[in-house]
């Protein structure tokens, strides 16, 4: 029996549920609308937005992409966000990272109306997550990891969890989700990072490990308790002379050596990645539902 957590399969389950919600919304006269904003021509951003647009169309969500030149000023970008905030046909706004260096990412993300912040990055939504207020939007990647754990039958109540990484996009919200007092949470969470003195000791006591440090193959076999659940969030490009491109993508987990020890483990790719898009579109459906309530 495989110990792999199939992120593609679970993402498809969520997509099916989202499509049903979109159908119900259309029956009430509302088509969920999602705007992507991309500044510049970063190749990876083009691919990511293209994937999100394609899946949106499959689920019946109307989407458009606003592409701005890299020379766009921050004031011009904020003015566009203001116009979209006021436009009732759009329920979700996603600003694709990375932004040009002359823009302040925190300022830009904070300009999106909290009710349209389907990425979950607005300070109001971040605060709601910390407080356990379920009215806000949860960031898509940690929200996706949470769904992977729930739908894979992982026991969360009372579990020892170690989150590797303290970033605003994954590490901090992941810890907040799992430490909440409530269903599918109640974990004891330790966050380790570059300033932690003995990361391996913390990791070895964990029932669940979420690796999101952005360090290629950081989590080794000797850091994992036998039977632990291992979630690999990392996406890192490393040199590989055997590859046609000279590089290959790896996660934050040394997969080949950790898989035999883990109780459950996400592959990379095919684990967390598909869940991020699934949660984004589920958030968009929810934003449209909330627009009907007021």
Q: Which of 172, 188, 187 is nearest to 233 (CA)?
A: 172
Spell out the domain ranges in the chain.
28-115, 140-273
Overall average pLDDT of the 279-288 stretch: 98
The two beta strands, 236-239 and 247-250, are: antiparallel
> Annotated catalytic sites, by residue?
52, 96, 119
pLDDT tens digit string along 265-277?
A: 999 989 999 999 9
pLDDT tens digit string along 190-230?
A: 999 999 999 999 999 999 999 999 999 999 999 999 999 99
Distance CA 188, CA 243 (A): 41
- What's the mean pLDDT when you consider all of the chain? 96
Instruction: Calculate what percentage of the chain has a pLDDT beyond 90.
Output: 90
Specify the 3-state DSSP secondary structure of 65.
strand
CATH 3.40.50.10860 fits 28-115, yes or no: yes
pTM surpassing 0.85?
yes
Specify the 3-state DSSP secondary structure of 92.
strand
What tokens appear for 22 in the block? Answer: 């979109």
CATH class entry, domain 140-273: alpha beta
Same fold, 28-115 and 140-273: yes
């Amino acid at each position: 029996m495989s110990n792999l957590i199939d992120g593609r399969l679970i993402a498809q389950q969520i997509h099916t549920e989202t499509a049903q919600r979109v159908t119900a919304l259309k029956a009430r006269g509302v088509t969920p609308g999602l705007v992507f904003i991309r500044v510049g021509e970063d190749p990876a951003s083009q691919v990511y937005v293209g994937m999100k647009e394609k899946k949106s169309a499959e689920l019946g969500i109307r989407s458009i992409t606003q592409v701005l030149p890299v020379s766009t000023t921050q004031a011009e970008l904020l003015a566009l966000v203001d116009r979209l905030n006021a436009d009732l046909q759009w329920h979700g706004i996603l600003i694709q990272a990375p932004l040009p260096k002359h823009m302040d990412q925190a300022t830009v993300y904070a300009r999106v109306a909290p009710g349209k912040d389907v990425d979950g990055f607005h300070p109001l939504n971040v605060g709601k997550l910390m407080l356990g207020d379920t009215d806000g939007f949860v960031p898509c990647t940690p929200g996706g990891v949470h769904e992977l754990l729930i739908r894979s039958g992982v026991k969360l109540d009372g579990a020892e969890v170690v989150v590797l990484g303290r970033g605003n996009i994954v590490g901090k919200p992941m810890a907040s989700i799992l430490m909440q007092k409530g269903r599918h949470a109640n974990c004891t969470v330790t966050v380790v990072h570059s300033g932690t003195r003995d990361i391996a000791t913390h990791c070895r006591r964990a029932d669940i490990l979420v690796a999101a440090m952005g360090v290629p193959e950081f989590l080794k076999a000797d850091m994992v308790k036998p039977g632990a659940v291992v979630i690999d969030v990392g996406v890192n490009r490393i040199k590989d002379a055997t590859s046609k491109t000279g590089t290959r993508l790896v996660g934050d987990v040394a997969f080949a050596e950790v898989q035999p020890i883990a109780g459950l483990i996400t592959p990379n790719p095919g684990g967390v990645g598909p869940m991020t898009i699934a949660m984004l579109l589920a958030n968009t459906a929810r934003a449209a539902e909330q627009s009907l309530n007021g």
